[in-house]
Amino acid sequence: MDNTMNDTAADSCSPQDCESCSGCGSVPRMDEAHQTITLTLDDDSEICCQILTIFAVQEHDYIALLPLDEEGENTTGEVYLYRFTQTPGGDPMLSNIEDDAEYEAVARAFEAVCTKIMEGDEQ
């Protein structure tokens, strides 16, 4: 899969435990609107996704993407999770999460990030 950024994500730190994060601002958060990435799928079709957040789980960084339709909306509630790295030149690279246990850990971490953000909004 070839993945190219339209708007680059902010430079991200690689903390080992984002749950203890005090909001340093170096990792994009869900409230940073309009950052998108275009995914080129195996059949050469493209899908535009909003970048929700980049977060760490153990020694790897991951990205959560919200797929958007032609009107820039997400009507399915579906979220894509990928492993996120950067080339030495700073270009983003995404790769599929192949291991089920790794995917479950990433999904739980993403839920924790969402919960923390939602709790912050309620205060």
* Mean pLDDT (10-residue bins), the chain, 123 residues: 37 38 38 70 90 93 94 92 92 92 96 87 58
pLDDT at position 116 is: 87
pLDDT-above-90 percentage for the chain: 49
pLDDT at position 21 is: 42
pLDDT at position 118 is: 83
| pTM of the shown model | 0.68
DSSP letters for the chain: -EEEESSPPPP----SBGGG----S-S--TTSTT-EEEEEPTTS-EEEEEEEEEEEETTEEEEEEEE--TTS---S---EEEEEEE-TTS-EEEE----HHHHHHHHHHHHHHHHHHHHHHH-
pLDDT at position 121 is: 64
pLDDT at position 34 is: 52
